[in-house]
Amino acid sequence: MGRMPKPIETPVPSRAELVDHLVRTRIAGQVATPRENNLSHYRKLANGDRHYWLGLELGDRWTDEQDVLAVMAERCGVVDDPAHRFGQDTIDPELTVAGLDRLATRLRKAALDRQSVLLATGHPGGLLDVHRATAAALRAAGCEIVVIPAGLTADEGSVWQFADVAVLERGATLWHTHSPEPMAAILDGLAAAGRPQPDLVVADHGWAGCAAQRGLDAVGYADCNDPALFLGEAEGTLQVAVPLDDHVRDPRFYDPMTAYLLAGAGLLDA
């Protein structure tokens, strides 16, 4: 039998090299999401719009958009000046790398304990291959990658798995979604089939928020206009929220980041 391929072939950057790459590709640094879009989302979350809660139950704890902004400045690196209303906003690349380091620690634990892991994305155009490579590395390390039940539906679409990553599909198209309903369908489907819940969920958007709200170990990626996951991390509901632009011009731009993550988790060959 031939040697199994490595989960990822991209050279592993140093921390400094990764910070430079994140800024050059606008995964972090001066990102494409405008300031006014960020503030609009923070305001809508504070006003109780559930679409922006991403499956978390925030109660009345975040009704002041300035409190939301303060958390986003601390954990994501957006401009902390509330008078900055329009134009450029930022993600601190050092916070991105720090989030990757925390995520790597949790992935290392999953590998050491041979845990079951569910991976899912609401941003298949940007992050599908990040999750795919993570799944491949975890499987190679002996983890069980959770296979979702067949026939699941949510939000007028089908919940499928491609390359070990759960996604929402409508009309032969993988769907960009912030909804928690696809993850709820998976977790309910596992329970209905008498199967255990995953030990770890690696996801984004409402997929991560829903899993965290149900008390599962959940980690995820989040953009600067998606504050809920950062609030969930601040409250201890979500274990890790990695700040980044979740849909840059070329999805290959995420490859060095993924290599850094998997190397930090001990999931790549020396």
Sequence-ordered list of residues with C-beta below 8 angstroms from that of 40, at least 6 positions apart, any chain: none
Give domain status of residue 64, yes or no: yes
For residue 176, give its domain range. 13-269
Summarize pLDDT for 147-204 with one digit per residue, the tens. Answer: 999 999 999 999 999 999 999 999 999 999 999 999 999 999 999 999 999 999 999 9
Give domain status of residue 8, yes or no: no
Query: What is the rounded distance in angstroms from the CA atom of residue 245 to the CA atom of residue 161?
Result: 23
Report which of 169, 197, 164, 168 is spatially closest to residue 181, judged by C-alpha positions. Answer: 168
- Total number of domains constituting the chain: 1
Give domain status of residue 231, yes or no: yes
CA distances from 215 to 56, 77, 212, 222, 226 (A): 11, 27, 5, 19, 20
Q: How do 144-145 and 116-119 pair as beta strands?
A: parallel
| CB 51, CB 225: distance < 8 Å | no
Q: Residue 151: how many CA atoms within 13 Å on its side-chain side?
A: 4
Sequence-ordered list of residues with C-beta below 8 angstroms from that of 266, at least 6 positions apart, any chain: 108, 111, 141
Give domain status of residue 1, yes or no: no
Give domain status of residue 79, yes or no: yes
Give domain status of residue 2, yes or no: no
CA distances from 199 to 9, 166, 233, 240 (A): 27, 16, 18, 15
Give domain status of residue 3, yes or no: no
In the chain, which residues have pLDDT < 70? 1-8, 269-270
Summarize pLDDT for 28-44 with one digit per residue, the tens. Answer: 999 999 999 999 999 99
Give domain status of residue 45, yes or no: yes
Query: What is the rounded distance in angstroms from the CA atom of residue 115 to the CA atom of residue 250?
Result: 32
Task: Write down the pLDDT at residue 10.
Answer: 87
CA distances from 84 to 35, 80, 87 (A): 8, 8, 8
| The 3-state secondary structure of 18-60, one letter per residue | HHHHHHHCCCCEECCCCHHHHHHHHHHHHCCCHHHCCCCCCCC
Provide the angle, in degrees to the nearest 10, between the axes of the packed helices 181-192 and 205-213: 50
3-state helix, strand, coil in the chain (%, to 5): 45, 15, 40
Task: Write down the pLDDT at residue 8.
Answer: 54
The encoded tokens of residue 119 equal: 């991976």
